[in-house]
Copies of this chain bind each other. A is one copy, B any other.
Amino acid sequence: MFEATKLGRRIPKDAFKAEVPELRTRLLAAQRAIREARVPVIVVVSGVEAAGKGELVNRLNEWLDARGVQTFAFWDATDEERQRPRYWRFWRSLPPRGEICNLFGGWYQAPIERRFRELCNDAELDAELNRIVDFERMLSQDGALIVKFWYHLPQKEQKRRLKELARDDRSRWKMLPDKSKFAEQYRKFEQVAERVIRITDRGIAPWHLIEATDRRYRDLTTGRTLLAVLEARLAEIAATRESPAAAVPAPEPVAAEPEAQITILDRIDLSQRLERNLYKVRLKRLQAEANELAWQAYKAKRSTVLVFEGVDAGGKGGAIRRITNAVDARLYRAIPIAAPSDEEKAHHYLWRFWRQIPRAGYMTIYDRSWYGRVLVERVEGFASPHEWQRAYAEINEFEDQLVESGTVLMKFWMHVSEDEQLRRFKEREDTPYKRHKITDEDWRNRERWDDYKLAANEMVARTSTEMAPWTLVAGNDKPFARIQVLDTFCRQIRRALEAGPRGDGYLTCETTG
């Protein structure tokens, strides 16, 4: 795979100087157009040790308008990063629409190093690479342009450079292969890199292999490649604008009408009730237990994510309050999901939920969540069919990462009947301190009851996974619903604590730049 990077290609100084001004001008123009088109650009800078990736990034920063370019390295994880799912640090680094980020190694660095150091086997590496493919596809479908560079050196040249680096003492932060086994390690690194590149070299995010022996060749080729990729995307955008008919047609609706009439939600037994005195006793006991378990989870460094969705007036707020009243306010954060801020709008829709992921031992309660994508955004047409249909897989992958990192994830759908909703709406209008909870929008949503039910049904069907099942809460009787939520809460945390520590240990492997 790397033969073409060992040809000793060079660019003479004069040729370099002659080409650069034109290249810079066009790069800047492309950058400006990309900003206007609001395309986020992710440049991954990877390759063998001593290829000069740092120099190259400095060169890109020089050629581009530095306002609009950010650079991130991932060699030095903070504890806030270590205490969250692995990809949190990448989400932190993704560019807003219209900007460019250079990522040293990006999400490739850890898997390559782990495999190189025999900390995982090929199958584990492949599983991680498949996650990467999904991740890049997701970003790409959201409009991101992903440009991946791999810088390579012939064995002899790398050896020479590493010796030099070792001599001048600037290498102290880098990973140096054992000198005596250099040839063997060089081969092994190439094998790992080849596997990584082969599996992750997809049309939506292809790799560009560049020989790094000659600096001018390396930089100029990178600049030309980046320019070509940016200009190609701009041309695509222009073409789509001119002939919008050429846009991909929306996929067929998934659920056919007849079967859609009966949903999983209809199977919830809404007649279940809990007698008021029994409720008081159980509430008190469960709330004490919830606080105790929250402290135990804190000590065990297990985080908890709670998701509350449901029909309007389904009792989300009341159920959440029964938890937040019980648990020490130092341990949780309740996040109401309203309209996104402009920073949030400038990112993938999952970005704002990643922002709030709790660190180890803490709890985040989402009052509405990422499921808005397949509920309100679907029903109201804020997301296109393409967007909300692919969201199921994106959400499952996101939740997989949460669970994999040891987070206890619970998802509650608070359900009430149409009649009960009406009764509650009217009650809200009649109770002064509840009036703020009822708006015209609630009444409008109610008219689309069947659409919401259909969407919720499909959501549960597609995202109630073994790792992250939905709890369907029978909400007509508030005491019953609240106890069901609290009981599930305690049971799940207790079970997680009994099962012992989780987490795949990826981040225990500190990696170098």
Contacts and interface: CB of A to CB of B under 8 A. Distances in A.
Interface in A342-377: 342-343, 359, 367
Contacts of A57: 329
A367 B67 contact: yes
A317 interface: yes
A70 B436 CA distance: 19
A62 interface: yes
Contacts of A76: 330
Interface string A58-78: 100110011110110101101
A137 to B, nearest CB: 28
Given A80-B79, A343-B341, A432-B21, A66 B334 contact: yes
Contact of A78 (B79, B334, B436): B79
B433 A102 contact: no
A324 interface: yes
This chain: how many copies in the complex?
2
Interface string A78-116: 111001000000000000000000101000000000000
A282 interface: no
A185 interface: no
A343 B344 CA distance: 10
B62 A436 contact: no
A35 to B, nearest CB: 10
A57 to B, nearest CB: 5
Nearest to A32: B436
A321 B62 contact: yes
A295 B104 CA distance: 18
Interface residues of A, number: 52
A80 B84 CA distance: 14
Given A32-B436, A78-B359, A79-B78, A58 B329 contact: yes
Contacts of A32: 436
A75 B291 CA distance: 18
Contacts of A325: 58, 61-62
A375 B329 CA distance: 42
A336 B66 contact: yes
Contact of A67 (B292, B338, B359): B338
Contacts of A291: 170
A422 interface: no
Interface of A: 21, 24-25, 28, 32, 54, 57-58, 61-62, 65-68, 70-71, 73, 75-76, 78-80, 83, 102, 104, 170, 172-173, 291-292, 295, 317, 320-321, 324-325, 328-330, 333-334, 336, 338, 341-343, 359, 367, 432-433, 436, 513
Given A21-B433, A73-B329, A78-B83, 12 more contacts: A21-B432, A24-B433, A25-B433, A28-B436, A54-B330, A58-B324, A62-B325, A66-B336, A78-B80, A104-B329, A341-B341, A343-B343
17 contacts: A21-B432, A21-B433, A24-B433, A54-B329, A61-B325, A61-B329, A62-B325, A66-B321, A67-B336, A71-B329, A76-B330, A78-B78, A78-B79, A78-B80, A78-B83, A79-B79, A341-B343
